[in-house]
A and B are shown apart, each in its own frame.
Chain A
Amino acid sequence: MSTEEVRLFIGPQHPGVTGNMSIEVLLKGDTITWAKTHIGYLHRAFEKLMERRIFIKSFPLVCRICVPESDTNEENLARGLEELADIEIPERAKWIRTLVLELSRLQMFIMWYGGIAGSMGLSTPVQWGIGDRDYILDLFEELTGGRVYHIYILPGGVRKDLPEGFEERVLKTMDLIERRLPEYDELIMDNAVEQKRLKGLAPIPKEWVEEMGITGPVARACGFPYDVRKNSPYEAYDKLDFDVITEDGCDVWSMLLVRRREIDLSIKLIREIVSKMPKGEFLTRLPNVLYWEIPKGETYVKSEATRGEFGYYIFTDGSGKPRRVHVKGPSFIHGITLLERLLVGQNIADVAPILVALQICPPEMER
């Protein structure tokens, strides 16, 4: 190692706003010449713990795999188990799940929108993002009884029906957020500093997308129209009208644009879901959950999280506990494979915006 190089550890205390992980970099002046992601600060052995739990007990656990967007985990696990146990869920349950997933995506995007500004030292939108997200958490609290960990989507459907007048309150909150968004745009998108720093930052070579298996807004910012909601629809997504959002810049600015447009799309989808919400039953009776045994089988279920394709591989052996559950979080690829290569040649000051742009959620790398 040359003496001109400086070894620097970024993290493990929240670098940017993404969670506990650490990036070890070598610097030549301001420029990164080598990078390595270190994980393990959050490891709670989710996958292993699931193997020794009856199925129902895994639900309060998996929502912790990605704290700000917990519902994707619940939904994936529930859908996977339903598939293996051959349980058909009511139509209304599918729509309620879709509503929850979309609300969850929206609050995550709003928080992220503030976060990307925060990663460059503009802290006002961070406060806004947290504050406005809380109006959606209020909805979650009313619907599920929990603000962050909802534990609402269980096999068979959802735990409770929509409360009286909930749809109107959802629409009111959507109006409120829509009113606020131009103010965010003024501060972030129309900001000379942001534009100068983010446009053209960290361009991803297009061939990396397929090579590494990059998904979600990062892939869509590279022009790949891949969205699980469209490509392999789940729950009620096949009944919703929307197009996959793509940008062609491959840089952080394009990722910002994709996510900004995703916010609009989520609001549109939530309004559509509310207008199409069918009546009826919301939960199929499960076998006795204390003794629930699922026949031998394996499945892979996936959904579109804000970060990309989120998947659960579940293997059951006929007993009351899963033989193996493997969680595929998009951050694993984005945070290790992609990040380590993407950082090379970048300025040290841009590490935080790049991390946030890839929207890395460390707990999903360490299941």
Chain B
Amino acid sequence: MGLKEVLKPLGAWRQIARKPHTILVPKVHREAAERYRGFHVNDLGKCIGCGTCAAVCPNEAIDMVKIEGIEGKKGDSGFRPRIDYGRCCWCGLCVDSCPTTSLRMTNEYIWIREAPDDFVYIPGYDIKGFEQKEKGYRKDKEHSFTDYHRVPMREKEPEERLQTFAEVVLGYTEEEARKEADRCIGCGLCISGCPDRMHIPDYIRAVASGEYERSVNIMYENNPFAELCGKVCTRRCESYCSLGNEGDPVAIRWLKRFATERFSDLKEVIRARKQELKDKSVGIIGAGPGGLTAAYYLALRGYKVTVYEAMPEAGGMTMAGIPKYRFPLPSLKKQVEFILSQGVELKTNYFVDPEKFRNLMEIHDAIYLGVGLLKPWKLGVPGEDHPNVIYAIDYLRKVNFNESVKIGNEVVVIGGGDVAIDAARVSRRFGAKVTIGYRRRKVDMPADREEIEGAEEEGVEIWEKIIPLRVEDAPEGRVKLVYGKARMVDQGPGRRPKPVLIEGEEYEILVDRIIVAIGQQADLTFLPQEFAEKMEVERGRIKVNERQMTSISGIFAGGDVANRVADAISAIADGLRAVKGIELYFQGKS
């Protein structure tokens, strides 16, 4: 140690001539980095109020609050996140888990106010001046907490499908199902899309954690046709899945299918508690999904239930209408048998006529009408009564009951709904060349997207904007469909365009059969005169109140005959609502 050690430190004085590290805030604003985690902004139009940000927030800094101008609707809770910056730790977990990517952070970090309340606000709603900031932390969809990619469902190859009526869909393996179920973030917005309000996030979570028995029990709390829905449900829930906004919605239907298919004997699985017997009886006309749902829950509540079915088998349209490659018979039998095992009496081949109806009114304390729609709508064009013009609903019933049907080699199906697609795919399985003629465009078809794709894979051709004009006889037992083309007239946002015939153009197609699948209507001729007069009918459907009671006290109705949605799950929902209605009716409360 010497003089050097005394003098050397003085070298620090050279610092005095240097530019300082520091900047003068607020005179100089230092822009934070591109991905800086600063104050939040939220795109309120994109946000669906799923609450995932609030669920993942480690500090409970986020509340979901109701705000003016945003109403809850299907797929949107109507709530929006409010952030308390007294608690926020700027970790950005909320941003990484936002399924719609609406919530993000800006690179703004200075916000000086006196009032503490100014630090609790709703990003996007309470305007703070940095909403337009482009920079800031945002979600990278492929590297976040949300998995936007559905586990693909394995299916039979198209060529293989056409050989048989065996199920097209092969189902998930256990590993696939658990992986798919684990994608669910549990927001529950899907429930708003389900007519039956099934407890979707709960049973999906149960699948994800491998508790399949619990999963099926949750389903059976309000749906005794869970397996049916797992195969053929119109799954509107999936269109409200929060993951669907930016990716693939969770495969709710396939997961239900997976869980229910694991158990061959439901009696060993479902732990439904039966209440003590009561001395009231209910007659249910029509053993479709709606009628049997009502029967099941009424039986559990201790009522005596008898179901009357005109066809030789229970199941209604799910028996007679849905082709077996979508919904195999053993699956239906399993579910129906379980319902019957709860003490429900089933009378098949029991065609209710006015006389029998009067009798049923005598012996039962309440009646539920789940008769469905049996009368097909007609095309309303000249020559429609040609013997080669057949109706999809009759055609599918005959196929499902193994009656002989001849369709020839070339078929045209008129219509764009699920029934039209079913008729087309069934005809393909009989080896016919099939064309679907639809009056609007393919994108407007009400049929399930996957069904349309499946049909096309199987070689069904879809012609758009076809309007049938007349049917003419053709030689060699064939038939000619003369049709015109339509142009689309826009009907404003949210509505399907209207097809308008382009006059003066005519085309024709020569086929063996024309299958008409443009919808069905109710056939209420079984009602005796005195009931038919009092029964209010609105645009072809029986009018019911919120408890499914018709205008005649003690008569309830549901399913296709009462609702316009006309799918299995709304029929099940109607059946369930009617149970509540019937019980209140018995208690004299309605």
Contacts and interface: CB of A to CB of B under 8 A. Distances in A.
Contacts of B59: 60
Interface in B52-87: 52, 55-56, 58-59
A197 B182 CA distance: 62
A143 to B, nearest CB: 8
A196 B33 contact: no
B89 A149 contact: yes
B255 interface: no
Nearest to A49: B58
Given A142-B35, A160-B35, A290-B185, A60 B58 contact: yes
Contacts, number: 109
B143 A151 contact: no
A141 B36 CA distance: 6
A287 B181 CA distance: 10
A290 B58 contact: no
Given A282-B143, A289-B56, A146 B37 contact: yes
Given A57-B56, A151-B92, A183-B11, A288 B147 contact: yes
Contacts of B52: 290
Contact of B5 (A159, A183, A192): A192
B137 interface: yes
Nearest to A151: B91
Contacts of B55: 290
The A contact surface, by secondary structure, is helix
Most B C-beta atoms less than 10 A away, residue of A53, A56, A149: A56
The B contact surface, by secondary structure, is loop
Interface string A230-243: 00000000000000
Interface in B13-36: 14-15, 21-22, 32-36
Interface in B538-580: none
Contacts of A151: 91-93
Which bucket holds chain A's interface residue count? 35 or more
A132 B97 CA distance: 35
B324 interface: no
Contact of B185 (A149, A159, A288): A288
Nearest to A124: B12
Which bucket holds chain B's interface residue count? 35 or more
Contacts of B137: 145
A191 interface: yes
B37 A145 contact: yes
A57 B58 contact: yes
Interface string A181-219: 001001100111001100000000000000000000000
Interface in A99-153: 124, 131-132, 134, 138, 141-142, 144-146, 149, 151
Contacts of B4: 190
Given A57-B93, A60-B89, A187 B9 contact: yes
Given A288-B147, A291-B205, A191 B9 contact: yes
Contact of B97 (A60, A124, A196, A289): A289
By Cβ-Cβ distance, the 9 closest A-B pairs, closest first, are: A60-B91, A192-B5, A57-B58, A131-B21, A145-B37, A190-B8, A142-B33, A145-B35, A141-B33
Interface of B: 1, 4-6, 8-9, 11-12, 14-15, 21-22, 32-37, 52, 55-56, 58-59, 89-93, 96-97, 105, 137, 140, 143, 145, 147, 182-186, 205, 208-209
Interface of A: 53, 56-61, 124, 131-132, 134, 138, 141-142, 144-146, 149, 151, 159-161, 163, 183, 186-187, 190-192, 195-196, 282-283, 285-291, 293
